[in-house]
Amino acid sequence: MSGRITLAVAGRVLRQVRRDHRTLAMLLVVPCVLISLLWWMFEDLPGDLFDRFGPGLLAMFPFIVMFLVTSVTTLRERSSGTLERLLTMPMGKLDFLLGYALAFGLLAAVQSALAVAVSVGLLGLEVHGSVWLLGVVAVADAVLGTALGLLVSAFATTEFQAVQFMPAFVLPQILLCGLFVPREAMPGVLEAVSNVLPMSYAVDAMQELVGAADTGAIWRSVAIVACFALASLGLGAATLRRRTP
Amino acid sequence: MMKKVIAVRDLVVVRGEREVLPGISLDVSAGVTGLLGPSGCGKTTLMRSLVGAQRVRSGTVEVLGEPAGSASLRDRIGYVTQAASVYDDLTVAENLAFFARVLGVDRASVDEAVAAVALDDHRDQVVGRLSGGQRSRAGLAVALLGKPDLLVLDEPTVGLDPVLRRDLWELFHRIADAGAAVLVSSHVMDEAERCHRLLLMREGRIIADGSPDEIRERTGTTDIEAAFLHLVEDTEPAA
């Protein structure tokens, strides 16, 4: 592993994103628009529904977006021959993966900072915990999305397949993460499944932050998300092979 | 006798159900060596084995005195796949700067590589907007970074215009003159004349090995295409 190469990969990925103005604009603007839409939808309803659903959405954006972006970009690296070329060079597999995680983690930090600023500043989302912790949670979610995206891209041979992994891998996590039905109120089997899905902990962390703000519980959830991310990166490294059939 | 750069012995590669290389042996020394054969005869698989990208079943592949794929070889071999293997959304200079950082070579070698493939005028253009020929030259420039001891080029001249092809072959010879070994594959037989040495390949086997003159003489033919056909008819069992 080499810091120089990891940074080279991260810098290159960011440069590619910066060159693609439309993708960059969508990455940064769409979450803000969606969270505003959520707020508007609940505007005339009684209760604090925005406070209940908002944090979950803030946890999901970086995860979903980075999952999609990563699975497509890595697939492109595989099909364009650049990955094969890099792996014949002095590039460690972890250099490659961490470079991606670093670049998309940074991007997610900016994305979340904007979405949080809009939610808290304009839409009046109540955050009891510290706002910077919210950033930490968002980055952990993004790295998780990146890591899972890298992992599943190994099993996709076309971009169509890569995009199909989104409903297959991400939607079940959204349904079971406890946002729609509290996890403890689900049928036993589903609750057990929910307990082993990373998104559940990402949403837990966000809800903790906005609600009771028990810092210990937040860090525990963040740690669980980080463990999932590391495990996926490790598995992703195992799927990157210098020698292919 | 020139030093062997590549030594392959009884290499067997199976892809899917198919035995692509059923036990190939060959040597490559310094100079420009052409690996010629029809599409699908196993040229790419052989080249991937040399750079350590191919899973092999048995046999040995030695490159620059070490087993192919060794970590110590990774900055000594320049490799170009049939795809240009560069990032279409970056400029020529940005692509080269990235790969130079990965290889740990300085910026000066970026300028040298750009000049070698005559892309100076296009260095700040995004690769995706270049012509096919310019794009593949950008891919070739990456392989030249850091002056590798061996260049493995998979059909680098396919689809290029005659002037460009001539220029590239001149470049390969300049690189070889500077001491590196250059292995170039092609399925176009008339490129044979430009090589010091030829390996003719068919269905995963080497059917002839020698200088263009030697091969023509041995087969009693006037050009390599005729020599190839002669060799194929010779090896084919009478129906």
Per-residue pLDDT reduced to its tens digit, A122-135:
988 888 877 788 87
Tokens of A137: 């949670």
**Which position has the token pair 């200088």?**
B211
Which residue, among B110, B108, B166, B167, has the nearest Cα to B138 in the 3D structure? B110
**Which position has the token pair 């310019």?**
B134
| A18 shares contact with chain B (CB less than 8 Å) | no
Chain B nearest-CA residue for A95: B102
Half-sphere exposure (CA, 13 Å, Cβ side) for A78?
23
Element (H, E) at B28: strand B18-29
pLDDT above 60 for B239: no
Per-residue pLDDT reduced to its tens digit, A201-245:
988 888 888 777 678 888 898 899 999 988 988 888 888 888 888
- Inter-residue contact A42 to A50 (CB < 8 Å): yes
Q: Helix count (H) and strand count (E) of chain A?
A: 11, 0
Confidence of residue B2 (pLDDT cuts 50, 70, 90): low
Can you spell out the DSSP letters for A109-129?
Answer: HHHHHHHHIIIIIIS-----S
| A22 shares contact with chain B (CB less than 8 Å) | no
- Inter-residue contact B126 to B89 (CB < 8 Å): yes
Per-residue pLDDT reduced to its tens digit, A34-46:
999 999 999 888 8
Chain A nearest-CA residue for B47: A88
The average pLDDT across B16-34 equals 91
**Mean per-residue pLDDT over chain B, rounded:** 89
| A84 shares contact with chain B (CB less than 8 Å) | yes
Question: What is the C-alpha to C-alpha distance for residues A171 and B147, in angstroms, rounded to an integer?
Answer: 49
- Compare CB distances from B102 to A80, A89, A243 and report the shortest one's residue: A89
Chain B nearest-CA residue for A82: B85
Cross-chain Cβ contact B142/A242 below 8 Å:
no
Percent of chain A with pLDDT over 90: 19
Rounded to two decimals, the pTM is 0.87
Question: What is the C-alpha to C-alpha distance for residues A155 and A101, in angstroms, rounded to an integer?
Answer: 19
Query: For every one of its 245 residues, what pLDDT tens digit does chain A have, with 9 covering 90 and above?
Result: 788 999 999 999 999 999 888 888 988 898 899 999 999 999 888 888 888 888 888 888 888 888 888 888 888 888 888 998 999 999 888 899 889 888 988 888 888 888 888 988 898 888 887 778 887 888 888 888 888 888 888 788 888 888 888 888 888 998 998 888 888 899 999 999 999 999 899 888 888 887 776 788 888 988 999 999 889 888 888 888 888 88
